Structure formats: structure tokens, C-alpha cells
Structure 1
Amino acid sequence: MNGPTRIAIVGAGLVGRRHAEAIWRNPGADVSAIVDPSDEARQYAAQHGIPCHGSLAELFASDHPDGVILSTPTLMHVDQGLECIRNRCAVLVEKPISASAKDAMQLVRAAEQADVPLLVGHHRRHNPLVQKAKQIIDSGAVGAIRAVHSQCWFYKPDHYFDIAPWRTRKGAGPISVNLVHDIDLLRHLCGEIVSVQAQAAPSSRGFENEEVAGAVMRFDTGAIGTLTLSDGIVAPWSWELTAREYPVYPATSQSCYLIGGSEASLSLPDCTLWNQTGRRDWWEPINATTVARPSSDPLENQIAHFLSVIAGETEPLVSGREGTRTLSVIEAIQKSALTGQAEVPETFADTPTVGVAI
């Protein structure tokens, strides 16, 4: 590939602009165009001297980038992703991949049949501390995982909802908007989630969506997981406030994940391993070791990975199928919160069909 890899960004909102900044910090890539019909997007593109198109059809009529990042509302992901695939253009779709796992599989199968790379933007997997945690777990240092706890508590201010009223609607609560990140990491680190039982409480501000939720999860390894989630609690225990990924969130020294194993326990994101050097016994002293790990911007790492996938050098870390499996767990949690019954996340065939033109 001659010259920088050319990436078009669809949707020039906050997330789209963060992707653009990450691309510009990579010497091997450039933003080739913005696709967004808004006046603000045209002004943004003009400021940076790049074309702005009102639609993907308009983009592909005049250009063919090496890749596209979809930073648009979730309901638009499948149709826009299919358009990229029809034009044989690699695509990175922001999470969640779709509004439903069933619709997501339409996109996944089209990408596999056309042999076009489809990635999902679960950027936390590109954080070095997550990669270090995965290495620790896979090394056997924790032993067999027996229990997991995830805590995601924060307070979204009123103006967060005022500037985007859709955030008050049913389906736009913290389960779908925020918990999807945590579920993806729990799956990545601890195994597949095979059943969930959840409860949720309505918004105290009168919105249509939930404000508090909790769930018990069973993993395919036999481990049991618990989680609690709220966007109406003032607290330091969330990935945003503990992982130091994005400077806009004030950092705390707390952790929000606890992973308990037969040999040791691991807290994240502080990456502290708790074990006993002698015999395993609750009367024996327990030691805490904070594991050193490199630090870098997960969004920048995700862009570098996207370039490597486009170049055919590696396979997607978070494929369309991976993103769909995470979404299936979210759907099971939402359904369980309504029915009060344990729910099993929908599963899909793991054998892709590759190389068939669409």
C-alpha cells in the first residue's frame, strides 16, 4: 500500500472526532473524508481541509477509502455497514454493533461472505492493562476463576440528557449504552456468559429508561459473576474513573473489577494480584503485588490494529461475531430485567462462510 492508509469517518460527533484525532497521531494513516450531512460536520471538515460528504453513497461515488469508521447512531450501523461491504471497504463499527443481535448477524454474515474485514470498536481490549490482565489470567496465576464482580457507578449530569433527549428514551439507558463495555471485557477475560438473571429500577428523573441494574451471570467455566450498574450514583467505582483512558474523566485510585480464582485474585484496573506464598489458607498472610504494565491510548492502539487488519497482517481482535456475542448478553440482561427469569444469551454458529461474493 503506497502512502498513508486512507480512513473515512462517518459521523463527526464527539466519538468521530476522537477517532479523527487518533488517526492524525498515526503517521501511517490519514482522514480521507468526513461523511455527515450536518453544517457542523462541514465546518469541521473545512477546518481540516478534507472533503465532507452528505452520505456514504456520495462518498463511494467519488472515492474509495481503504477503510471506514462508523461513529453514527446505533440504528444506522447495519445499513451503513452493508453499504461499506457492498463497496468492499473494511469497516470499524462503533459499539454496540447494532440495535439487536439478530440484525447484527445480517451484517456479520454479509462481511464474511464478501471476505471484507468487519471490526467492532470495543476499544478497551486495546488497553495495555487489559492485555496484561489477560496474560496473567491465561498464565494460570489466578488459577480457575470462581467468581467475578463488576461495578459501574457514576452520575450523569442533567445537561448530558438535555443536549441529546434521545438519551432519556427506552433502550438508551446505562445497560445498552455503558454496560456493553463491561460485558465485553468480562467475556474477554473470564469466558463466555451462558446465563443471566437481572433486575432493574426505573429512572428517578422520570426518564423512560432504567437508572439502576444488577445481574448474576454464569460463565461457561462454571464461575459466577455479579454486576451492578447505575448512572445516578455519585461514586468512584467505574472503568471511566479508574482506568485513566480518557483525561476528561477525573481519575481515582479505586478498582471496579474483582476476579477471584483458586490460586489468587486480581483487581482491575489497578492490576493488583492478591495471593499467598505459602499454603492457601484464610489464616495465612495474603500478599498484594501491583503488576507493571505499559500505558498507551487504546483508541490509538485500535487505529493501529485497524490499519494492520486492512493490510492483511492480522485478524480482527474484536470481530463482528465477537461484538454480536457481547450484544446478545446485553439483550439477555434486558429481557431478564423485564421477565424476572433467568435468560440464556442467543448463540450463533461459530463457523463463518468466507469468500462468497455478495
Structure 2
Amino acid sequence: MDRNVRLAIAGFGLVGRRHGDAIATTSGVDLVAVIEPGEAGQKAAADQGLPCFNNIEEFFARSHADGMILATPNSLHVPQAMTCIDYGCPVLVEKPIATTSDDARVLVQHANKKTVPLLVGHHRRHNPLIERAKKTIETGDLGQIRAVQATCWFYKPDHYFETAEWRKKNGAGPIAVNLVHDIDLIRYLCGEIRTVRAVASPSARGFENEDVASALLELENGAIGTVSVSDGIVAPWSWELTSREYPIYPPTSESSYLIGGSRGSLSIPDLRLWHYPGRDPDWWSPLSATALTRDATDPLVNQIKNFADVIAHGAQPLVAGEEGLKSLQVIEAIQYSAENDETVALKSDQVSVELAS
């Protein structure tokens, strides 16, 4: 492609505008249109001099783009992405890819059949610190991965729920809304998840959903994972508060992930590698901590660059549709396990349920 990649954004709320800001700082990529039925989003598009359309169908009838970013409500992801694919337009769908894994599977299969690129916005994989952690694990510095621990604790204020009633409903708790990011990174860094055993407690504020949950994960490589999530705990241990990825969250100096191996352990996002340099592991010997270096680029910009490379040069997506499907399957398994007090076994093409022993 001997010209700039032309992108459109559907959904010009806070997330859509962050994508717009990322496009604006990415060379070789232009934002050419917005699809937004809401007044605030339409005004934001007008303020930036961007043409705005009421819906996806109107856009494709009157205009075109090389790629579409969907930053719309979750329930619209599948029908809108299907429309883009039918028009042969590569699409980047915000997480989660769909509201159910069944719908996500249909979408992935449709994209594969039409050979149209489908990407999912698990943008944390595009963070340089995750790239550094991935390389450290792959080069064997940790040895065999034996355990991973993820903590996702924070306190969402009451007005967060008052401004959007759906946030109080079943299925809108921190398992679905927040934990999907952490599950995706566990899969990316440590391997696929084979079984899930989870518990959850009802919202202390009286909402329909949970406000705290934990899960025990058995990975296919034999490692064990533990995750804990809550949007009602005052704490510094979450990706949002530790990664310094998004300036609206005041940063802390803590970590939210611990990955343990037979030769070393790694904390993330501070990237401290704990090991016994030059000797065999021995708990009577002093451990050494090394702070790993990494680049400091914006993961949203990196995600746009990857999307543009997929469109213009046929590059491989860092997060293809299949990856979004697999992470969503794990989230569904956690929800099912917590609701039914059962162990859930995951397979590559489906989620099956096994009774807890």
C-alpha cells in the first residue's frame, strides 16, 4: 500500500476517542470517519472535523475505509463486525470480542471463511513491559513455569454505578468487565488454561452481580494459577494502578502479577527478576533481584501500528479473533464455576463442565 492506511472508528465515547488520539500520533495512518449516533460523540467528531455517520450500514453505503475499529457497546460487537467482514473491511473489536463465546465463535468462523482480518483489543499485550516479560519467559530465565498469581483489586466509587444502571446487573461484575484482561495476559505469558474452579460473593452494595471473586486455574503445561478480582476493595494491587498505562489512574509502586518458575520468578509490571545467578537454586543462598529494562511506548499506538501492518502488509495480528474467543471462554468458565459450584474443563473448541470432586 503506497498511501496512508485509512481507519474509521465506530463508537466515539471515551474509548473511541483514545483510539482516535492514538491514530493521530501514528505515522502512516489516518482517521477518516466516525460512526456515532450519540450527540456527544457526534459533537466530538465535528470538533475534529471528521465526517460522522449514524450507523455502520450508512457508512459503507456512502464511504469506505481500509479498517474499522469497534469501540461500541459489547452487544453490538458481533453484528457490527459481521457487517464489516461482509464488506471485506478488516476490523479491530474492543474487548470482549462478544457477550458470549458462542457468538464469538460464529464471528471468528465468519472472518476466517471470508479471509478478512479480525483483531481484538486486548491492548495490554502491546505494552513493551509485557513484550519484555514474554521474552524473558521464552528465553528460559524463569525455567519451567510452575505458578502464576494475579491480583485485580480496586474500589469503584458509587457514582461509577449510578451513571450507568447496567453496571449493577448480572454479568456486569468485575469478572466480565475487568478480569478478562488479566486472564488474557495469563494465557499469553504462561500458557493455555485447562480447568477452572471459582468462587464469588454477591455485591456488598446490593447490586445483582458479584463484587469479589477468585479462581484456581490449572494450565495445560502443569502450572497452577490463582486470580482474585474485586471492584470493592481499597488496594494498590491492580494493573490499572501499577502499570502507569493510563494517566487517569494514580500510580502505585506495587505489582499485580507474580510468575514463578523453577529457576526464577518475575513480578509485573515492575519487571523484577528474582533468581540465583551463577548457581543452582537453593533457599539457603541469597536471592538476587534484577530490574529488567524495556521500552516506554504507548500500547494503544502499538496496537494501531499492528492493525495498520496487518492491513497494509499482511502482518500477523498480535491478538487475532481466536485469542479473544479463548479468553472469553475462560471468563465464562469462571462465571459458571462460581454460580454452580463445579469444576469447568476447557477445550480448544468448547467449554465442558465436570462435577467437582
TM bracket (short chain): over 0.9
Would you say the 8 A contact 1:328–1:347 is kept in 2?
no
Match of 1:321 in 2: 322
Match of 1:107 in 2: 107
- CA RMSD in angstroms, aligned pairs only: 1.0
Match of 2:342 in 1: 341
Shift of 1:183: 0.2
In the TM superposition, what whole-angstrom CA distance separates every residue of 1:157-187 from its partner, at most 9, and x where no partner exists? 1111111111111101100000000000000
- CA distance in structure 2 between the aligned counterparts of 1:89 and 1:110, rounded to whole angstroms: 13
Match of 1:283 in 2: 284
- CA distance in structure 1 between the aligned counterparts of 2:270 and 2:161, rounded to whole angstroms: 31
Q: Specify the code of the residue in structure 1 equivalent to 2:302.
A: N
Would you say the 8 A contact 1:35–1:53 is kept in 2?
yes
Are 1:22 and 2:22 counterparts?
A: yes
Match of 2:311 in 1: 310
Unaligned runs of 5+ in 1: 350-358
Match of 1:355 in 2: none
Shift of 1:4: 2.0
Q: Specify the code of the residue in structure 2 equivalent to 1:248.
A: I
Match of 2:96 in 1: 96
TM-score by length of 1: 0.96
Would you say the 8 A contact 1:331–1:345 is kept in 2?
no
Extract structure 1 runs of 4+ deviating beyond 3 A. none
Match of 2:8 in 1: 8
In the TM superposition, what whole-angstrom CA distance separates every residue of 1:132-161 from its partner, at most 9, and x where no partner exists? 000000001100011110000000011111
Q: Specify the code of the residue in structure 1 equivalent to 2:334.
A: I
- CA distance in structure 2 between the aligned counterparts of 1:3 and 1:40, rounded to whole angstroms: 31
Q: Give aligned-pair identity as a percent.
A: 55
Shift of 1:347: 2.5
Match of 1:292 in 2: 293
Match of 2:355 in 1: none
Match of 2:59 in 1: 59
Shift of 1:64: 1.2
Match of 1:35 in 2: 35
- CA distance in structure 1 between the aligned counterparts of 2:212 and 2:43, rounded to whole angstroms: 39
- CA distance in structure 2 between the aligned counterparts of 1:345 and 1:28, rounded to whole angstroms: 41
Shift of 1:280: 1.2
DSSP 3-state at the match of 1:98: coil
Q: Specify the code of the residue in structure 1 equivalent to 2:30.
A: D
Match of 2:331 in 1: 330
Shift of 1:281: 1.2
Q: Specify the code of the residue in structure 2 equivalent to 1:332.
A: A
Match of 1:204 in 2: 204
DSSP 3-state at the match of 1:208: coil
Shift of 1:345: 2.6
- CA distance in structure 1 between the aligned counterparts of 2:153 and 2:97, rounded to whole angstroms: 24
Would you say the 8 A contact 1:236–1:252 is kept in 2?
yes
Match of 2:216 in 1: 216
Match of 2:191 in 1: 191
TM-score by length of 2: 0.96
Shift of 1:2: 4.0
- CA distance in structure 2 between the aligned counterparts of 1:202 and 1:43, rounded to whole angstroms: 39
Shift of 1:279: 2.7
Shift of 1:346: 4.5
DSSP 3-state at the match of 2:80: helix
Match of 1:249 in 2: 249
- CA distance in structure 1 between the aligned counterparts of 2:47 and 2:226, rounded to whole angstroms: 47
- CA distance in structure 2 between the aligned counterparts of 1:256 and 1:147, rounded to whole angstroms: 14
Shift of 1:42: 1.6
